[in-house]
Structure 1
């Protein structure tokens, strides 16, 4: 078995990793042909992830032109602890206000320690609703998944 095969995460490990991590780095293609890279909060969504961004942001403009991205989630502070997942993804741009509100609520609940389906306080819903008019949802649907967990090597290389 190759080292690459030894460090690959299973689908269950990837799902758990998505639940554990907090920031994705999203690469889109700028008009000048160079990658545009931006960190974003996210929540797991199907086999991929979802988030929102300002509709006037550079990443939104890039995704309207070419709805494809590469998403990186990674951690580890030494070689033997490196873990990560890279997703090549098609991106669904969500502009329906009600769906954008749902995405905003899911994000806010996750980062406030809540769970999907928890009751949403009226003041939170009002805040998210006010934000939703300026934002679009982004749903990243993986077309290719690459993962690594160097901890699986047990300190050997």
Structure 2
């Protein structure tokens, strides 16, 4: 994975990134469409090494990613300037499991589906025959935590 070069003084540590991604609930996914970038919000699950996205398999996002699997995902939080923090993950997604997902046994999806269900559906895994799974193992993670700005300034 590429190392973050800019704004290292306010970058999150790997443990802070993991905690932040576990705490937030919505990400913004940017794909490369034929008419330019396409950005949409999604729910996600982070397992410590991969970001798992469930997407409608008949969507513009899915069409874009089938043509070009490169993706950028942003998770951010904060209202005031000195509260802003976030993580951007970049890389290529891969389809995991059946498309659309109807619930055929798949050992590779057992953990992420449960992680996702624990976050959003009270622990119950649902398969609606409309969504399918995408896994992003990021090539690059960039993070920022503006709460560190005061600490980053020399005394």
TM range (shorter): 0.7 to 0.9
Residue 23 of structure 1 corresponds to which residue in structure 2?
26
Q: CA–CA distance in 2 between the matches of 1:88 and 1:108?
A: 24
Please say if residues 96 and 109 of structure 2, whose CA atoms lie closer than 8 Å, have aligned partners that are also in contact: no
What SS does the corresponding residue of 1:77 show, helix, strand or coil? coil
Whether the 8 Å CA contact 2:75–2:87 is kept in 1: the answer is yes
Structure 1 position 138 matched with structure 2 position 153: no
Instruction: Spell out the pairing of 1:1-80 with structure 2 (5 A cutoff).
Output: 4-32=7-35, 34-80=36-82
**Match for residue 107 of structure 1 among 116, 138, 142:** 116
Structure 1 residue ranges without an equivalent (≥5): 115-123
Farther off after superposition, 44-53 or 17-26: 44-53
- Calculate the TM-score normalised by the size of structure 1: 0.79
Where does structure 2 lack aligned partners over 5 or more consecutive residues? none
Deviation of the 1:106 alpha carbon: 3.2
CA distance in 2, matches of 1:57, 1:40: 13
How large is the Cα RMSD of the aligned pairs? 2.4
Following TM superposition, by how much is the alpha carbon of 1:49 offset from its aligned partner in structure 2, in angstroms?
A: 1.1
Q: Quote how far apart the aligned CAs of 1:105 are.
A: 4.3
SS state of the match for residue 29, structure 1? strand
User: After superposition, where does 1:90-129 map in structure 2 within 5 Å?
Assistant: 90-96=92-98, 97=101, 98=104, 99=106, 102=110, 103-112=112-121, 114=123, 124-125=124-125, 128-129=126-127
| Stretch deviating more after TM superposition (147-156 or 18-27) | 147-156
Task: Report the TM-score, using the length of structure 2 for normalisation.
Answer: 0.80
**Structure ranking higher in helix proportion:** 1
Report the count of equivalent residues.
142
Task: Give the structure 1 partner of residue 85 of structure 2.
Answer: 83
Decide whether aligned partners of structure 1 residues 79 and 31 sit closer, same or farther in structure 2, where only a CA change above 3 A counts: same
Distance across 2 between alignment mates of 1:80 and 1:63:
35
